[in-house]
Amino acid sequence: MLDRLDPLVIGECVADIVRLPGEADRVHPGGSPANVAYGLARLGHDTTLLTQLGPDGHGRLIRDHLAAAGVEIRTDEAVGPTPSAAVALDDQGHATYTFEVGWTLGPVVLERVPLHVHTGSIAAVVEPGAATVLAAVESLRAGATISYDPNVRPELMGERARAVARVERCVALSDVVKASDEDLRWLHPDEEPEQVAERWLAAGPALVLVTRGGAGAFALFPNGRAVAEALPVDVADTVGAGDAFMSGALHALAAHGLLGPDARGRLHAVDRDTVADVLRHAVASAAVTVSRAGANPPGTEELREALARN
């Protein structure tokens, strides 16, 4: 069984510039795929991130941050500014973003074929780089399981119908999909999030995970539905919460031997108790992250302690 993912994550890095009234800007390494890569590395997986980073201060900050967790960084060697996002926090720590992002990822030759691939966010919808991402997922899928998080950023999604079509193409290529209820409401405002999740499950994935903020999360899978409550926590901010949920879920799926191409059949036959355990790990990982500033997911011992407390 594959209990270590050693995954390839494809997607953007973003410098999150947190701005609070009366305080100096704080810059945190971010970008949804980069956060997932960092979270997986902190949980003991030999993670490679295929991304773009500029030769600037933000790029150096992000490189050092990812390298400290053991993430191997691969780029297409394009030169441009590191993407950034101004992050405004309300009095409850909830984040809103203003982006300065370009995404032009070109093809990169990989030395090894990964057994699991994760992608999502703007990397899968913003052209011209999104075409590279989709081509990579399509070419790698025969030898790898695929996970996907649309992580909708309305300012960057472009025309809604085109964005929806691209998101649902990625869903159909994936084995595991995670989205927030807010993502689903933006993509399909005339449907309830659970209706969208049911359609997505029917399109091919084995597992669709939906986060609901303080209301917890639910999962749909071929054999049913599972629910997890959010853990009680003093929220510092919500930056990176969904990404920590994703890395925690993938970590748990790997521990159950449900990722990698040889596990695809088992994943599609997953039982309720296993899905409940995956949700438990994912929710605990997110709880640790929101308890402190920035996208700062737990390491293995921190996750173990969070699970033991709840």
10-residue mean pLDDT series, the chain (310 residues):
75 86 82 96 96 93 96 91 81 72 91 93 94 96 96 89 95 98 96 97 98 94 94 78 96 96 95 97 93 84 88
Tell me if 66 is assigned to some domain: yes
- Tell the residue number behind the tokens 């640790």, with chain if given: 288
pTM: 0.93
Tell me if 297 is assigned to some domain: yes
pLDDT in tens, 67-118: 999 999 999 988 788 988 887 777 666 667 788 888 999 999 888 889 999 9
- List phi, psi (to 5°) of 270: -60, 145
pLDDT of residue 63: 96
Sheet holding 48-51, edge to edge: 72-75, 48-51, 8-10, 116-120, 145-149, 176-180, 207-211, 217-221, 224-228
pLDDT in tens, 10-44: 999 999 887 777 788 888 898 999 999 999 999 99
Tell me if 1 is assigned to some domain: no
pLDDT of residue 1: 44
Tell me if 20 is assigned to some domain: yes
CATH of the domain at 204: 3.40.1190.20
Q: Does 55 sit behind a cis peptide bond, omega within 30 degrees of 0 on the bond before it?
A: no
Tell me if 2 is assigned to some domain: no
Rounded to an integer, what is the distance from CA 146 to the centroid of its chain?
Answer: 12
Tell me if 3 is assigned to some domain: no
Tell me if 54 is assigned to some domain: yes
Range of the domain at 259: 8-309
Domain count, the chain: 1
Tell me if 56 is assigned to some domain: yes
